């Protein structure tokens, strides 16, 4: 058939003699073979749903798409989804939307993004239904077009040749995201991804597919709810404090991409993964990546209840051999064991009772129709609620009997010391035997029904119980979950990572949860090395001592007019005596309190421990690290002499995902051998992500009650990291942090150890820096600095 010729209908086709369908086929004028088999169904639906004028535009749009040479997919998407757009907008608005949509499709066709035309049309129906108006739909299409222009790449910088990596995923995610975000929130989410990953196609694709933590963090910022990453540190510390347990927290996505239905939200259950190693078993707790508050219980408390339940399984449950048990038996065992764990949690930590009972599904007796559904799950849910909630009464005599038998087992075993998996605790095997008896003696004919009653049987804090089962023979039921991410040994012994934002100076806003900081105690070396260092500089120490003596407070303060003081205030007492003699009412506040003036200063020292410290300082035979150690040792000794509180930490970074903050000295630690040993063992490595290190160090300093709060940064260079290509990015971030801290009453000062980067240091700290490149200058420099900062 020549190009552009009208396609001849198949005389054997069932619609060949239907005038309306035949007229539509001729108006469509499409010779693509893949369109013919589905045309009749699309045509009948469009004729039933569209007016004649809208139907004419419908055929016209399909004809234009078919002539573009992009295959059948855009035509099929148009025929399938455009009637849905017309119904969502109305006939008049749909005519204007038609022009805007076709203009965007033609722009895509002329760009490297022609493959995304189908995605746009596929998602347009749900988006139009959600937005519900022409103006907001036009704003949505404008955002899509603008994003396409920003992220389409070019090899030589003249003509667009590389398709946008994130555009298909953006269009697939749009229907689901607009269910939870406003249009402005969605636009902010899109704008952040376009700015942050414009030149990183793989990361851009992960961001818009919701596979990136940064994507979820920005999504969380623009919507309600709590992200798991925000609660991860609190949950990990709770496990360590309450259970002496370390477990890696894994986010489970609550959004999945389906090839048939696009993006859909799914409900996920927590899961507990166990992995054996030479050092013993390790655990990973899978939790939903985002949660909202529910039934008056905050999202953090929901996360905490999930973690506590899994920790209870780790402490109190033992695996069972599952090969010879039926699915019904295994189901009952899981419910009985979960109920036992929840009961123990409420008895061990009564504060959990409110959250647990508030979140338990509102199941009631008689809620399942045994004539049509299998009701075993319903019975187990009712039974479990009757055990946990003593105010919930059941009428079924069998459920009451099994509740009493369960409580007798648990309470009776608790009174017999020395039995069970833990002193006073019933074992999982005993609970399993009771559950098997429950299944055998309460079995009903309706349990064989194909339809299962699931309403009010989903207890969302309970995990999927895969850890309860062992399989002797391999089969489909064994645990096939991926192993948890293995962390470096150093990371395993550190505190859980803390997430911090970073300032994007080009966008004028922060990138939320952009950097991970791992804090750990620096390993010790030899304290004698620091003592020898101080001995070598004994003369400098004496000179410094004389200068520091001038900083020690010499005076006293007097607080007068007190009811209860340390001594009598003679002047006030005499005035009171005169008032009494003259008939006036004397003052009863005639005492005073005199106390010596004390310094109230807290100093946080942050050391740059990047690899450049291994280089020799200009004009010296010492490395920058050696000068740093000597400077810090003399500074710590000086502040110890003054009695000021001092904390010391060091940092280096290896991309934004791995910033390491080493604890050297805390505010309450004395200047003693343990601190000296850590200072002596410093080893430079990696890069200098300064801004986030200052953020992390200042978090503790801000909470101090001191009158003066000083943060000193000891560095030899400018901020940099291997994953940052813009040389100004990290400098602007550090500058933003310094200005923010100064507005909160923290005095930030930089001690620079290398003159080559003075310009960048001045950009970050302004005039608040001091250059120290020779040890001979150190006493006078430190004394002058102390006079400035503490006067």
- 491/460: higher pLDDT: 460
Q: Which of the two residues, 787 and 139, has the higher pLDDT score?
A: 139
pLDDT above 50: residue 6: no
pLDDT of residue 147: 92
The pLDDT of residue 261 is: 34
Predicted confidence (pLDDT) at residue 129 exceeds the cutoff of 90: no
pLDDT of amino acid 782? 67
| Per-residue pLDDT tens digits for 614-634 | 887 666 677 778 878 887 888
The most confident of the ranges 284-288, 439-443, 662-666, 717-721 is 662-666
- 527 in Cβ contact with 676 (< 8 Å): yes
Return the closest-CA partner of residue 690 out of 645, 633, 748: 748
pLDDT the model gives residue 437:
92
Q: What is the percent of the chain with per-residue pLDDT over 90, rounded to a whole number?
A: 29
Q: What is the dihedral of CA 101, 106, 111, 115, to 10 degrees?
A: 70
- Rounded Cα gap, residues 12 and 501, in angstroms: 66
Say if residue 734's pLDDT is above 90: yes
Residue 660 bridge partners (DSSP): 518, 652
**Is the per-residue pLDDT at 4 higher than 50?**
no
* Statement: residue 663 has pLDDT above 90: yes
pLDDT greater at residue 267 or residue 525: 525
- Round to whole Å and give the CA distance between 651 and 693: 7
Percentage, residues of the chain above pLDDT 70: 84
pLDDT exceeds 80 at position 481: no
Average pLDDT, the chain: 82
SS3 of residue 539 by DSSP: helix
228 CB neighbour count, 10 Å cutoff: 23
| pLDDT tens-digit map of 704-718 | 888 889 999 988 878
pLDDT, residue 778, reads 62
659 falls in which pLDDT band (50, 70, 90)? very high
Residue 662's pLDDT is 92
Q: What is the pLDDT of residue 171?
A: 93
Please give the residue that has the higher pLDDT: either 93 or 225.
Answer: 93
Reported pTM: 0.56
Burial class (CB in 10 A: 0-12, 13-18, 19+), 669: middle
Give the pLDDT band of residue 661 (cuts 50, 70, 90).
very high
pLDDT at 22 over 90: no
Question: 387-413 pLDDT, tens per residue?
Answer: 999 999 899 999 999 999 999 998 875
Question: What was the pLDDT predicted at 258?
Answer: 36
pLDDT over 50 (residue 483): no
Q: Would the pLDDT of 315 be above 50?
A: yes
pLDDT number for residue 383: 95
- Predicted pLDDT at 775: 56
Residue 266's pLDDT is: 46
Structure tokens at 676: 């000296």
pLDDT band at residue 507 under the 50/70/90 scheme:
confident
Q: What is the pLDDT of residue 159?
A: 72
What is the structure's pLDDT at 42? 86
Could you identify the residue written with the tokens 């078919």? 66
Q: Tell which residue, 334, 356, 326, 332, has the closest CA to residue 344.
A: 356
Inter-helix orientation angle 228-243/213-221, to 10°: 100
Confidence of residue 474 (pLDDT cuts 50, 70, 90): very low
**545-554 own/partner pairs: CB under 8 Å, 24+ apart:** 545/641, 547/779, 547/780, 547/783, 548/638, 548/641, 548/642, 548/783, 548/786, 551/599, 551/642, 551/783, 551/786, 551/787, 551/790, 552/599, 552/642, 553/596, 553/597, 553/598, 553/599, 554/597
Task: State pLDDT tens for residues 68-111.
Answer: 888 899 999 999 889 988 888 888 888 888 999 999 999 999 88
Q: pLDDT at position 420, please?
A: 42
Q: Of 141, 137, 117, give the one whose Cα is nearest residue 128.
A: 137
Q: Calculate mean pLDDT across residues 732-739.
A: 94
Distances (CA, A) of 707 to 179, 186, 695: 49, 44, 20
């Amino acid at each position: 058939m020549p190009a552009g010729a009208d396609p001849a209908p198949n005389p054997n086709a069932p619609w060949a003699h239907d005038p309306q369908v035949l007229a539509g086929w001729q108006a469509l004028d499409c010779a693509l073979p893949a369109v013919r088999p589905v045309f009749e169904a699309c045509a009948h639906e469009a004729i039933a749903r569209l007016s004649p004028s809208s139907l004419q535009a419908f055929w016209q749009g399909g004809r234009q798409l078919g002539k573009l040479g992009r295959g059948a997919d855009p035509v099929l998407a148009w025929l399938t989804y455009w009637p849905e757009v017309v119904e969502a907008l109305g006939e008049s608005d749909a005519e204007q939307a038609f022009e805007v949509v076709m203009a965007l499709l033609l722009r895509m066709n002329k760009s490297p993004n022609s493959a995304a035309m189908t995605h746009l049309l596929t998602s347009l129906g749900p988006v139009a239904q959600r937005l519900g108006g022409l103006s907001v739909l036009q704003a949505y299409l404008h955002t899509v077009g603008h994003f396409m222009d920003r992220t389409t790449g070019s090899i030589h910088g003249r003509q667009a040749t590389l398709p946008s990596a994130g555009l298909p995923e953006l269009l697939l995610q749009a229907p689901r995201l607009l269910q939870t975000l406003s249009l402005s929130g969605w636009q902010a989410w899109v704008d952040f991804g376009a700015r942050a990953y414009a030149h990183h196609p793989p990361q851009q694709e992960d961001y818009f597919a919701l596979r990136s933590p940064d994507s979820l963090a920005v999504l969380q910022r623009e919507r309600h709810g709590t992200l798991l990453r925000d609660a991860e540190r609190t949950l990990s510390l709770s496990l360590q404090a309450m259970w002496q347990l370390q477990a890696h927290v894994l986010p489970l996505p609550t959004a999945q991409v389906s090839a048939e239905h696009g993006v859909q939200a799914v409900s996920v259950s927590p899961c507990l993964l166990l992995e054996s190693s030479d050092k013993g078993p390790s655990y990973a707790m899978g939790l939903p990546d985002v949660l909202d508050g529910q039934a008056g219980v905050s999202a953090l408390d929901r996360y905490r209840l999930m973690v506590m339940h899994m920790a209870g399984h780790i402490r109190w449950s033992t695996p069972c051999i599952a090969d010879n048990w039926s699915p019904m038996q295994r189901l009952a065992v899981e419910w009985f064991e979960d109920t036992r764990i929840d009961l123990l949690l409420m008895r061990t930590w009564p504060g959990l009772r409110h959250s647990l009972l508030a979140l338990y599904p509102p199941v009631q007796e008689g809620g399942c129709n045994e004539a049509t559904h299998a009701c075993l799950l319903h019975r187990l849910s009712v039974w479990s609620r009757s055990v946990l909630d003593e105010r919930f009464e059941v009428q079924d005599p069998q459920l009451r009997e099994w509740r009493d038998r369960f409580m007798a087992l648990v309470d009776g075993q608790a009174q017999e010391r020395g039995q069970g998996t833990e002193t006073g605790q019933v074992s999982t095997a005993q609970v399993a035997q009771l559950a098997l008896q429950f299944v055998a003696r309460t079995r009903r004919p309706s349990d064989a029904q194909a339809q299962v009653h699931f309403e009010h049987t989903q207890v969302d804090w309970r995990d999927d119980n895969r850890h309860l089962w062992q399989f002797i023979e391999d089969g489909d039921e064994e645990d096939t979950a991926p192993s948890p991410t293995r962390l470096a040994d150093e990371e395993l012994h550190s505190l859980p990572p803390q997430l911090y934002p970073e300032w994007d100076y080009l966008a004028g806003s922060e990138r939320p949860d952009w950097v991970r900081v791992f804090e750990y105690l620096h390993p010790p070396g030899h304290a004698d090395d620091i003592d020898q260092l101080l001995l070598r500089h004994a003369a400098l120490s004496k000179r410094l001592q004389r200068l520091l003596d001038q900083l020690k407070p010499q005076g006293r303060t007097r607080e007068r007019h007190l009811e209860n003081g340390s001594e009598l205030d003679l002047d006030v007492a005499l005035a009171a005596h005169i008032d009494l003699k003259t008939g006036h009412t004397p003052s009863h506040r005639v005492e005073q309190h005199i106390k010596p003036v004390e310094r109230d200063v807290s100093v946080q020292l942050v050391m740059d421990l990047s690899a450049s410290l291994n280089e020799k300082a200009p004009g010296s035979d010492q490395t920058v690290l050696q000068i740093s150690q000597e400077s810090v040792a003399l500074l710590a000794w000086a502040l110890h002499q003054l009695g000021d509180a001092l904390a010391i930490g060091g940092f280096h970074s290896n991309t934004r995902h791995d910033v390491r903050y080493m604890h050297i000295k805390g505010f309450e630690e004395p200047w003693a051998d343990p601190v000296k040993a850590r200072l002596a063992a410093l080893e430079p490595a990696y890069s200098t992500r300064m801004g986030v290190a200052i953020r992390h160090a200042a978090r503790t300093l801000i909470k101090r009650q001191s009158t003066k709060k000083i943060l000193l940064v000891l560095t030899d260079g400018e901020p940099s990291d291997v994953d940052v290509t813009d040389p100004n990015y990290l400098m602007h971030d550090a500058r933003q942090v310094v200005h923010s801290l100064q507005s909160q009453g923290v005095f930030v000062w930089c001690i620079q150890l290398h003159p080559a980067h003075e310009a960048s240091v001045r950009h970050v700290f302004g005039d608040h820096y001091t250059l120290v490149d020779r040890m001979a200058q150190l006493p006078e420099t430190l004394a002058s600095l102390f006079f400035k900062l503490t006067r």
